[in-house]
Amino acid sequence: MARRPLPRILSTGSAQIARGRELARTAADSATDVLHPLISITRGLRRLAAAGRRKWADTPKDRRGPLLFLVASVVLVVALLPYGPLLAVISVMAAAAWHGREQRTPPAPEGPDESQAERLNSLYEALVPYFSLAGDPSPLYAHGGEWQKAFPEYAFDESGRVTQLVIRYPAYFTDGEIDSRTRIEQLLHAKCGRGREYHFAWDEEGNRLTVTVLPPLPTDVAAQRFVTAPGETVLGITDPTQVRRTLPLTYGEEQRDVPPVVWRTGVRSTEPHLLIMGQPGSGTSSLLRSIALQALHHGDVVIVEGGTGEYACFTGRKGVLAVECGLTGALASLEWAATETERRLIAANRARQAGHPPPEDTRRPLWLLLDRPSAFAPLAAADGRKDPQSLLQVPLRHGRAANVTVVVADQFDHADALSDAVRQHTRARVVLGPATADQLAGVLGALPATTPAVDVPPGRGYARLGAGPVHRLQVPSTPDPYDDETGEADREAVLALLPPRTTPLEAETIDPAHTDPVEAEPLDTDRFQTQPDDIEPTDAEPTAVNPTDAKPLDMKKAPVEEEEPETEPLPTKAVAAEAP
């Protein structure tokens, strides 16, 4: 079929439009050149007017009158002077032209300067033995080779140190092997400058490694009410690299949005229990306190501590069912918790079978927080009693369905004393403080993609939820408000988050015998409304429990409300700390 010619307007129109555009552009350029002084003066006048407005707004109200008077006097004097108005206009125009001139910043030099190029070259040379293979016909890495091909992207800070680097490597490099990766990461850490934390992102498909210098996580995050949904607990803050969500946090006067590590608990959680490990003084107790403060917002808490008595501030508070420091108290509380877990399961099961929703008293979250439970193991063995950890089996196994969450904090040195159930069922993990690669891999099940900080502040570490990525973590500072060394701001922040007391202050006491597990007095298990005979052996499966034996417990009757008679008042510093 013969082609018909395009209509004239279509074939010649585009050429005309292009010519028209060119003409318009030339005219605009010429006009800009001619009008340039006028444009500068107008811009300057705008800037002067804005500066005047700012000055006026900054002037306190009581000084505005005198200022107005001064300006009016100057205008009057100038108007009365011979040639005054003309000189004034000329001065204003000159000032406007000066302020309206374009301030062009010199363009940044392209490519690295000499010292930066030298750094990149030495980095390249250091990588040659790792990324080259004899017999490679066109090696990417070779002594005396070109670093430009190996490092397609790079960035430096003002001091000339690398802040970001993309490294290409040959496909035969074994980037799937942890040892090979670790060797490269260690080398880069040393060559790019120690004393900073680096993030390594291995792109195995693209054969690229991206090295990024991470800014230190802020250490000034105070305890505060976090904006979270029920069932969410903030473990701390992290980097924005792996977490999309942000949380508004208050830092003194200002508010910042930061990426948090949020742990979800409850029926739908895939990591219903948490294990926290660290060196002494690394902040594990602070994290437990932070979790307790958040848990008390929606649930009840039982605290068992084999450590140094840093939970006295929780005693007698609404929702705190027990704060136990002695072996007997710990056993009683955990036996109750195991029975309560069974009771909840059975009640929920019955309700399900009857076609009803789960009863209200099975849905309120119950938290079992254990600080250094390993300390009880030798005491229990010496006394011929159960290790309290053995009572955690039921809450750990079936806690998810019963809304019971277990958090265990312990020290690396005592990791061997942790029971199998604790190891097996705590799928959310946190490591705080300095830790070796073996310790990190042992607890987290994977190594972090970041190098460790030189000085690890308390509360700094890593968190991993299930099989997810390892996050850097900084726990909000949640010190013991009754500790003399706690700063006033931190003390007030923690006290403000504590729930109200359920016992009058003067009735609240700390039993000195409780602070030492060795000398712990036997506690009255009646406090939990459960007779020892009623308690089933807790390592039995709930399905094996005779439903009639598991008696419902009255959760409203908190154990702390029934104080033992021979007790001493709270230390005066503690009382003084809470006095308004």
Ligand X SMILES: Nc1ncnc2c1ncn2[C@@H]1O[C@H](COP(=O)(O)OP(=O)(O)OP(=O)(O)O)[C@@H](O)[C@H]1O
**Chain contacts with ligand X (rule: CB under 6 A):** 219, 278, 280-286, 307-308, 310, 458-459, 475, 477, 479
Least separation, in Å, of the C-beta of 236 and ligand X? 7
Least separation, in Å, of the C-beta of 488 and ligand X? 13
CA distance 161 to 548: 70
Question: Would you say 224 or 282 has its CB closer to ligand X?
Answer: 282
DSSP character string of 516-563: -GGGPPPP-GGGGT--GGGPPPTTS-GGGS-TTTS----TTS-GGGS-
Question: Would you say 280 or 532 has its CB closer to ligand X?
Answer: 280
φ, ψ at 275 (rounded to 5°): -120, 130
Asked if residue 317 lies in contact with residue 325, where contact means CB atoms within 8 angstroms, the answer is no
218 is in an annotated binding site: no
Both tokens of 1, joined, read 């079929």
Residue 397 to residues 271, 392, 403: CA-CA distances in angstroms? 12, 8, 11
474 is in an annotated binding site: no
Amino acid making up residue 187: L
279 is in an annotated binding site: yes
283 is in an annotated binding site: yes
Amino acid making up residue 432: L
Question: Would you say 120 or 275 has its CB closer to ligand X?
Answer: 275
Would you tell me how many other CB atoms lie within 10 Å of the CB of residue 145? 16
Residues 389/390/392/393 CA torsion (nearest 10 deg): 140
CA distance 554 to 94: 85
CA distance 171 to 169: 7
Would you tell me how many other CB atoms lie within 10 Å of the CB of residue 117? 14
Both tokens of 543, joined, read 């399905």
Least separation, in Å, of the C-beta of 376 and ligand X? 15
Question: Would you say 486 or 503 has its CB closer to ligand X?
Answer: 486
280 is in an annotated binding site: yes
CA distance 335 to 387: 11
Would you tell me how many other CB atoms lie within 10 Å of the CB of residue 59? 13
CA distance 211 to 275: 30
448 is in an annotated binding site: no
Least separation, in Å, of the C-beta of 493 and ligand X? 11
Asked if residue 322 lies in contact with residue 297, where contact means CB atoms within 8 angstroms, the answer is no
- Comparing every residue's Cβ against ligand X, the nearest one is 459
Question: Would you say 281 or 466 has its CB closer to ligand X?
Answer: 281
Question: Would you say 211 or 417 has its CB closer to ligand X?
Answer: 417
Question: Would you say 219 or 250 has its CB closer to ligand X?
Answer: 219
176 is in an annotated binding site: no
186 is in an annotated binding site: no
Least separation, in Å, of the C-beta of 305 and ligand X? 9
Least separation, in Å, of the C-beta of 308 and ligand X? 5
Question: Would you say 218 or 359 has its CB closer to ligand X?
Answer: 218
User: Would you put residue 523 in left (φ > 0), alpha (ψ -120 to 50) or beta?
Assistant: beta
Please enumerate, by residue number, every residue annotated as part of a binding site for ATP. Answer: 278-285
